[in-house]
């Protein structure tokens, strides 16, 4: 799983109004056999990896112009890359809470992933 990924992203759900998403360079740090890993896509997320390649990151909260955003990424590593959904819950400074989700599709650079 470790390595660099070329990403495409698409907004798939949005109740927040104007939201911009970006296909950022993505890096995964993982020691073969370990169940924990780090994924950096703008922010760095710590996550848990299952033996079938599926994963979930720990919730990460950041604050920006939209308000406090709690992000969790779930997905699956494949031999050629990864597929994931970044789910974001937003609590704006004023107004109602909202949500949006971003589909990530990543192509692994270099050697393919090895999934037990």
Q: pLDDT for 60-79, tens place per residue? A: 999 987 789 999 999 999 99
What pLDDT sits at residue 93? 83
Six token digits for residue 74: 């779930």
pTM for this prediction: 0.93
Binned at pLDDT 50, 70 and 90, residue 7 comes out as very high
Three-state DSSP state, 11: strand
Helices (H), 26-90: none
Helices (H), the chain: none
Binned at pLDDT 50, 70 and 90, residue 15 comes out as very high
State the Cα–Cα distance between residues 95 and 59, nearest whole angstrom: 23
Higher pLDDT, residue 60 or 93: 60
- The residues near 10 (Cβ < 8 Å, ≥ 6 apart) are 21, 102, 103
State the Cα–Cα distance between residues 99 and 66, nearest whole angstrom: 11
Give, as one character, the DSSP assignment of residue 115.
-
């Amino acid at each position: 799983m470790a390595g660099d990924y070329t990403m495409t992203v698409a907004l798939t759900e949005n109740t927040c109004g104007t939201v911009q998403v970006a296909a950022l360079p993505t890096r995964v740090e993982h020691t073969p056999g370990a169940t924990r890993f780090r994924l950096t896509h703008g922010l760095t997320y710590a996550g848990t990896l299952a033996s079938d390649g599926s994963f979930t990151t720990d919730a990460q909260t950041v604050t920006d112009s939209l308000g406090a955003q709690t992000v969790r990424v779930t997905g699956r590593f494949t031999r050629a890359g990864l597929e994931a959904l970044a789910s974001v819950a937003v609590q704006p400074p004023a107004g109602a809470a909202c949500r949006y989700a971003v589909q990530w599709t990543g192509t692994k650079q270099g050697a393919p992933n090895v999934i037990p």
